[in-house]
Structure 1
């Protein structure tokens, strides 16, 4: 039966130096104790998960899976959000993103991009060894500094940015295709792929690549004032991963969607723990079930008020409460009557055929 799976937990916001957040086994035991069934694992913490080793060794991947299985867990997806960001970095953000890369390539834009590309290639191989069908990432951004058109937008500038973005991602998409894994871009402000229009532009630039897909996160769409339910109607065939993250937008006379350079608590739009914001998760889970989404529902905890441990503890139950096991029959099947052609013609008031 095609149905959503969950709850899953994205580990990025929880990895730390203190137990139980300091090793994969400790994290697994902690997540399982809260009711999670899967982990989405980032690739930028080798002591938690070594993507280079996973790409090279089936034995390493088998060991990872066996360790998680002891806690009743599986991997939902691997994540290369930080590495994906480094595939395309506008010079204005060079210093800000340098720390996402290892020291050996910092300050060298070309070497940094090559390193990030290699990690994505490794993630494709590792995902295949782990039996995964989807991978989570960011697109990076070349055009983002020009998202608001002043001075007036140059069409050639945007065309060139997306052509270059597509050229950088095309070999990575091809590698994921070779391994049978869907590459899912989280549509996110500050990335060139941040809404349906920008995704469509990129999709066309990569010739509607069969592995170019979407990580659906409704919080970013709410903060952009998009209709995220209609988005599912439009893009459900390309949605292959799902972050359960809440947000709220409180209209203000002083602050709008751009945030006024304020900290998260002071913004008109801010992230909240699931159930504490304005996202219609019942509508989302219903839409995804309707269209046969059979991937994982993964909590990404980000909240400007509630602490992480509480958000994680509440999140598993929240997601479990939204799950919709699909019905295997229609509710009115009990009243089905015959459909023989003579009876049908009589019901329509038609003469019997000669």
Structure 2
């Protein structure tokens, strides 16, 4: 066992056009002021992290890490969620996901995918150069429009989709292996890797690649009505990242898991700030600690009701209060006695 690190904050939802949210120095200083010890960094905004400069300039990397350190936070991991999403996009989602790519690539899916693969590869290399050993991403999706088995899926359709997904990711996983970086796929609706069964389908196709790992976020599991505690029992050896995000599921006679096309605040299932939903974080922290999770507890703020700055500030205290400082000895050591072979045999009647 070991003590989980934290609290840390995923910065993606806080980057903005006004100070302190428009610069690396401003964001890290603000996060530290909220009580965070670390920050998880998205790689899609050059104001925060310029991947190209980070890959080629040691001075830039030193300044980047030094600014965070001077402000009192560590860089916990990089995130390439949006670029990973674009590694595999079903044509039905081309228009929606074009917004994640440079304007010059919009309307050109092949060029967009090539750019995305290059971005994920850069993020892997930069992670290693920054001294990080894991990175967050999405898997993208080719089969997602066929999630519900009506109309009936053509035999082999899902298998072909996962074959193609694995073929796109295998070179990136091999690159990650070369650089000692785990790729942590956030298991998330909208991705082909959206639950344990789909992750296993992918893992089978990449031959159990050691760098194919999970970002555990219980909010997505609660909204799917998946057992998020047993999920840790099943996959703890692949869980390398942890997002502390809450959710609540309030089914009615009108709607359930699928939400009836309602906006977030009106859905039966909706995200909430840590502590405001139904996720049992006490049990989650206990399980992760029991299994020796060696990463950071990272708050990802997404809430249908609460202001993000309030959610961030409360989230730091929430994580701090849930981290379990592991015991250095068994609670009953006070009653221990010296090992005596003769006494043991006598106690057993031998």
TM superposition score normalised by structure 2: 0.99
In structure 1, C-alpha distance between the alignment counterparts of 2:332 and 2:239, rounded to whole Å: 31
Matched positions, count: 350
Query: Contact conserved, 2:29 with 2:72, CA < 8 A, in 1?
Result: no
RMSD: 0.9
Is 1:287–2:267 an aligned residue pair?
Answer: no
Aligned position for 1:157: 157
Alpha-carbon distance in structure 1 between the residues aligned to 2:203 and 2:59: 36
Provide, for residues 135-167 of structure 1, a one-character-per-residue CA deviation record: whole Å limited to 9, x for no partner: 001000000000000122334101100000000
1:28-59 Cα offsets, whole Å, 9 max, x none, are 11110111011111011001111121122222
1:174-219 C-alpha deviation (Å, 9 max, x unpaired): 1111110100000000100000000000001111111000000000
Find the residue that maps to 1:77 and give its secondary structure. Answer: strand
Cα deviation for residue 334 of structure 1 reads: 0.9
Residue number in structure 2 paired with 1:83: 83
Contact 1:79-1:137 within 8 A present in 2 as well: yes
1:194 & 1:345 partners in 2: Cα distance?
A: 54
For the residues of structure 1 that align with 2:98 and 2:277, how far apart are their CA atoms? Answer: 33
Aligned to 1:7: 7
CA distance in 2, matches of 1:324, 1:301: 22
Paired residues for 1:31-70 under 5 Å:
31-70=31-70
* Structure 2: segments with no counterpart, 5+ residues: none
Preserved CA contact (<8 Å) 1:52 1:119: no
Report what 1:314 is aligned to.
Answer: 314
- Structure 2: distance between partners of 1:308 and 1:30: 13
Measure, in 2, the Cα distance between the counterparts of 1:49 and 1:297: 22
Aligned partners of 2:251 and 2:257 also within 8 Å: no
Matches within 5 A, 1:1-354: 2-350=2-350
| 1:264 to partner: Cα distance | 0.4
How far residue 338 of structure 1 moved from its aligned partner, in angstroms, is: 2.8
- Secondary structure, in 3 states, of the residue corresponding to 2:184? strand
8 A Cα contact 1:55 1:125, kept in partner: yes
TM-score (norm 1): 0.97
